[in-house]
Amino acid sequence: MANNEILISGAGIAGPALAYWLRTAGFEVTVVERAPAPRPGGQTVDLRGAGRTVIERMGLMERVRAHAVDQRGFALVDSSGRTTARLPADAFGGEGIVSDVEILRGDLARLLHEATLPDTEYLFDDTITGIEQAPGAGPDGGGPVAVTFEKAAPRRFALVVGADGPHSVVRTLAFGPERDFVRPLGLYTSWFTATDHDLDLDGWYLMHNAPGGLVASARPGRLPGEIKAGFSFRSPPLAYDRRDLAAQRELVARRFAHVGWEAPRLLRALRTAPDFFLDSMGQVRLDSWSRGRVVLLGDAGYCATPLTGLGTSLALVGAYVLASELAAAGGDHTRALRRYDAVMRPYVTRAQELPPGGAAGYAPSRRLGIRLRDLSMRSMTRWPMRAVLGAQFAKAGDIALPRYAPAAGADAGADAGAHGRPRP
């Protein structure tokens, strides 16, 4: 088996971005994805800092902007819909709470997927069921990875990459159970799409807090009349069946049954929304993102949670760095993965620092906390809050993103030095 065949689990943001840069460098890439096709829709994600730089180096920024969601900014509202604080999209250089480049997750995933075609193999409607690493005589002291799938025939790869989210199958198989690596924030969130022409957002991402750590939100989608809605709540660990969507809908509906603002209307939409999902928020922390020839990327290895607004940047930057270091290492995977960790670790550590107040700041339990948070929001563009928030938003660019040399060879599995790094 050639030493340049790489398997990526996950066709969201990180997986296709990595596939693009690996193919640019001459690797043979297979992507396996549980869904039957690239997942459409989804919520809005931010393009910030170094994440924007990666998209620009891929030549995709023009297409991303063409699919961007038009939002005026972020605003807090009380139970009657009165605005209590707002932050326009152009604040903090266009990289505040709402970025001036925001795109639906599904749209970005589709653009990245298309950028990898036709040279990338995709195994949709499938998943990894087993990973076995056997000792060998490879340049890094390890042999190829034997992988079994739910549907496809078993295969062997030089490297397996888990880019399959915070509940990563690859991480569980190669590193251990999820509970060992995920740090819960005591916060649950549900997202779904609502179509309601009577709810006029006027281009703003609106958020309403209610006592008890409850948060209802609505933001514009890309299509006319489309609303991306959310309900979040603080809670001790909950036991629920992740496959039972009806029970999850009911759980959320009970929590928000007495919340004002537009919550009743959004709850009606929640009951029939085809894209509803509920999940806990937690950060993924590991001392090492690799075990032999298995490595983690994006949320699978270092989920920062949506509270930071940096998940997309971490995925894109991580993909760029990992592919580049693999190409530079000339087949020495140990050296490549060590360099990947060294370049990314400081960036990830900073990105995982939560905004002031963390989960409690996002979802205050008491009315006094809500009023104080509204007050701090109104002060965001003034000293000293501007400096505090500016530092938080600036984390997206807090990495000297290497500009790697162009690829120079044809076989990534050749001797060290035979293959350069992906084209910038």
CA 217 to chain centre: 19
- What's the angle, vertex CA 15, arms to CA 55 and CA 341, rounded to 5? 85
> For residues 274 and 68, what is the distance between their CA atoms, to the nearest angstrom?
22
Specify the residue for token string 């997942």.
39
Pair 133, 294: CB distance under 8 Å: yes
The pLDDT assigned to 1 comes to 40
Gyration radius of the chain's alpha carbons: 22
The pLDDT assigned to 405 comes to 55
Give me the residues of the chain with pLDDT under 50, please: 1, 137-141, 406-424
Specify the residue for token string 């994006």.
298
> For residues 227 and 206, what is the distance between their CA atoms, to the nearest angstrom?
11
> For residues 51 and 221, what is the distance between their CA atoms, to the nearest angstrom?
22
Dihedral of the alpha carbons of 378, 379, 380, 381, in degrees to the nearest 10: 110
Q: List 75's β-bridge partners, or say none.
A: 86, 206
> For residues 394 and 183, what is the distance between their CA atoms, to the nearest angstrom?
24
The pLDDT assigned to 421 comes to 37
Structure tokens at 340: 């990947």
Pair 71, 98: CB distance under 8 Å: yes
Q: Assign 3-class secondary structure to the chain.
A: CCCCEEEEECCCCHHHHHHHHHHHCCCEEEEEECCCCCCCCCCEEECCHHHHHHHHHCCCHHHHHHCCCCCCEEEEECCCCCEEEEEECCHHHHECCCECCEEEHHHHHHHHHHHCCCCCEEEECCCEEEEEEEECCCCCCEEEEEEEECCCCCEEECEEEECCCCCCHHHHHHCCCHHHCEEEEEEEEEEEEEECCCCCCCCEEEEEEECCCEEEEEEECCCCCEEEEEEEEECCCCCCCCCCHHHHHHHHHHHCCCCCCCHHHHHHHHCCCCCCEEEEEEEECCCCCEECCEEECCHHHHCCCCCCCCHHHHHHHHHHHHHHHHHHCCCCHHHHHHHHHHHHHHHHHHHCCCCCCHHHHHCCCCHHHHHHHHHHHHCCCCCCHHHHHHHHHHHHHCCCCCCCCCCCCCCCCCCCCCCCCCCC
The pLDDT assigned to 81 comes to 94
Specify the residue for token string 């972020």.
74
The pLDDT assigned to 2 comes to 56
pLDDT in tens, 322-368: 999 999 998 899 999 999 999 999 999 999 999 888 999 999 999 99
> For residues 372 and 377, what is the distance between their CA atoms, to the nearest angstrom?
9
The closest of 193, 190, 168, 199 to 181, measured between CA atoms, is: 168
Pair 259, 253: CB distance under 8 Å: no
